[in-house]
Amino acid sequence: MKLKKILDYLKCPHCNNQKLLLKAKKELICGKCKKTFKVINGVPILIDKEHLGAQEKNQIEWFEDHYSKFSKEEYCLENWRLSMVERIFSAVKKGTVKTYLDIGCGATGYTAIEGAKRNKWLSFGIDISTEAMLRAKNLAKKQEVEDKTAFVVCSAENLPFKPEVFDYVSAVSLLEHLEKDTEAIKSISQIIRKKGWLYVCVPNTYKKMWPFLWPVYRYIDYKIGHKRHYSIEDLGKKTRAAGFRKINVFYNAHLIKLGQIILEKMRLIDDKNWWKLERKDINTGQTGIQLNAIFEKR
């Protein structure tokens, strides 16, 4: 997507002014507060450093290093990514969606890229990592969807988008990383149109997970900076306060998933049987490690 078109959706993350000016394709300037923001290879860097907390600074450092190891050239969707795409895209009526945003899309940008390729959606991907967004943009170009995609570096707690510009927003493995998740949910609500949708995937509460998995997941939480887990009751309360109503809830990563992972690592399972186990794993059983929920903005 050309920068001039992207600007139709953006606002200043510092003062919320809805007019950003493009200067020589290398810089954005706020028409009100005069803050300047870099543009690198067509990717706006809309991080307001004055608003960043310690958690976000730590996450930037961790994910910049993590995503620096990802390929800029190879676009390959593993089965687990294909499953995630299927879950996100099948959760809503595709024909009613024109604009889509994935928050925390990572270096592959696969959610935004596939949204453009499969559904012809105008698809945005954002991440706090500059490394991630530069790689994602390059992959979108190689997949020939550059004109239908845009990638922006920004904070999920301070979204630089104008009100009600998206029909559908997904937040996969995002909220658990944020210091101020309640504020982030309210910010997401502001950029979704009325009757638009929000797809959330978060770690399930420890109380509903199998106890023998707790030590493993506590290590994961510590390693990648998770701040919390969620029950559907907790998540429902926070989303209701932001103007959403719950549409559907399901879980994945049950014990059957552990068997699937082991068989895959040992190369003892083919694609057909992998997907059989995957279909069985995605259900309403509340012991799954991941909680998935779809909400509609009231």
42 with 133: CB under 8 angstroms?
A: no
| Number of neighbouring beta carbons within 10 Å of residue 219 | 10
Cite the DSSP H helix spans in the chain: 3-6, 54-67, 79-90, 110-119, 130-142, 181-191, 214-224, 232-241, 255-265, 271-281
Q: Whole-angstrom Cα distance, residue 9 to residue 45? A: 14
State the virtual CA torsion across 111, 108, 183, 98 in degrees, nearest 10.
Answer: -30
Domains plus CATH for the chain?
A: 3-297 (3.40.50.150)
Tokens of 240: 């209701």
Predicted structure pTM score: 0.97
For 159-180, b/e burial (b = at least 16 CB within 10 A) is bbbbeebbbbbbbbbbbbbbbb
Q: Whole-angstrom Cα distance, residue 22 to residue 107? A: 25
Per-residue pLDDT tens, the chain, 298 aa: give them: 999 999 999 999 999 999 999 998 899 999 999 999 999 999 999 998 888 999 999 999 999 999 999 998 999 999 999 999 999 999 999 999 999 999 999 999 999 999 999 999 999 999 999 999 999 999 999 999 999 999 999 999 999 999 999 999 999 999 999 999 999 999 999 999 999 999 999 999 999 999 999 999 999 999 999 999 999 999 999 999 999 999 999 999 999 999 999 999 999 999 999 999 999 999 999 999 999 999 999 9
As a three-state string, the secondary structure of 13-32 is CCCCCCCEEEECCCEEEECC
